[in-house]
Amino acid sequence: MADTAGAARPSRRVVITGLGAVSPVGIGADVFAAAVRAGVNGTAPIESFDASAFPRRKAGEVLDFEPADHLKRLDPPRWGRSGLLAAAAARLAVADADIDEEQLDTARAGAVMGTTSGESAVVQALAEQWIEGGLASIDGELAGQTPASRIANAVSAELRLTGETQTIPTACSASNYALGYAYDLVRSGEAEVMLAGGADAVNRLTHAGFYALGAMAEDVPRPFAADRSGIVTGEGGAVLVLETYEHAVARGARMYAEILGYAANCDAAHMVHPDATSIAAGIRAAHEAAGVEAAQIDYICAHGTGTPTNDSTEVAAAREVFGDRIPPISSIKSMLGHTMGAASGFGAIACCKAFEQDFLPPTANVTESDPALGEGVDCVPGVGREARLDIVQNHGFAFGGNNVITILGRVS
């Protein structure tokens, strides 16, 4: 099955004016950008659960996250970690956008958030209660925190948003889905302002699942390197403020980027193996939706998990579209770990900061690209590199052949 969205240029331009990052390399968009540019490693031995029985024991956790430091309305004990990460990132994004709550109300603002595992840390805690004390020992109030829908609800409750509130559980492509859907709501006139992104928490189930698949890195993630061995799981909350160009101009807002278009498809060809032809079709559809040519793309923020299969398939898809001129293609998962439903949200934030600060985000832990990927693959190894970018594309791919590509441009 293939489908595209944003298939025509919008009559209303949609710009990104606020960024909120609660990440393993720092909290706040500026801290995040500085760490990404420097190639900081945000992975470390797992602290959120006992990982001693696993041969692989690292993750990208937000170790200094204290929800009460960021939230004004939510009572942290009543919400799961994913929702708290999302709400804190949203609070930071709104502050970064310098937009007050009355403006959010009049703009019919809402929240669209992506996730892979929902409130996975809550489910993990309930499972431990059940194992230790039987079904009757389960905390009913904690059980009430399990619905994945509470992730977007947490954002809207924290900011008293009255517009559409949706959680999109399409896993590793979910933030890009959220950005695309929020973009549709704003450009179509259903809202003037939307908050979009994703959140997920490190947990035993996800860690065990990727380990069982043989997809977990031996030490640190090295996307596109010859010695890459897989992913390291991660967590975080990534939120972006979207509004119409006219709304942003009227209130004198800083504009990081314009969303030019996006596309989504799902080939369902294999449970976990990505398909290069399907991804290439998605890239072409995104270019068409954005009204751009392949030659205009200056940078690809890759899905870049660091598994041998993902990286070779992603490069093959890019080569199918771009030929021998593949734009610089890098993976910030090399620093954050794989933050699952938040991953492409963090990718979009990195792209926005790259526009603002004129740099190419790097692939850390790598000195050169795998020669087996072919000629012309510049993964921006090591640390960020100065570059002026005008149009970039942000990849988000998920199991089941679920692909979403967003196209962002410098605001003109």
**Amino acid symbol at 134:** G
Residue tagged active-site, from 207, 247, 287, 303: 303
Catalytic residue among 70, 172, 301, 379: 172
Distance CA 264, CA 139 (A): 39
Show the CA angle centred on residue 263, arms to residues 287 and 23, nearest 5°. Answer: 105
**Selected catalytic residue, list 207, 247, 338, 395:** 338
Given 3-state DSSP classes, what are the helix, strand and coil percentages for the chain, each rounded to the nearest 5? 40, 20, 40
Q: Which of 172, 347, 180 is CA-nearest to residue 262?
A: 180
Under 8 Å between Cβ of 228 and 222: yes
**Residue 172 annotated to the active site:** yes
Residue 303 appears among annotated catalytic residues: yes
Length reported for the chain: 412
DSSP helix/strand/coil, 123: helix
| Nearest residue to 23 (alpha-carbon basis) of 73, 76, 72, 59 | 59
Please name the amino acid found at residue 35: A
Residue 376, classified by CB atoms within 10 Å of its CB into exposed (0-12), middle (13-18) or buried (19+), is middle
| Burial annotation 338-350 (CB, 10 A radius, 16+ → b, else e) | bbbbbbbbbbbbb
Please name the residues in contact with 167: beta carbons below 8 A apart, sequence gap of 6 or more: 112, 113, 114, 115, 118, 148, 149, 150, 151, 152, 153
Dihedral angle computed from the Cα positions of residues 102, 260, 352 and 277, in that order, rounded to the nearest 10 degrees: 130
Query: Which residues are known catalytic residues?
Result: 172, 303, 338
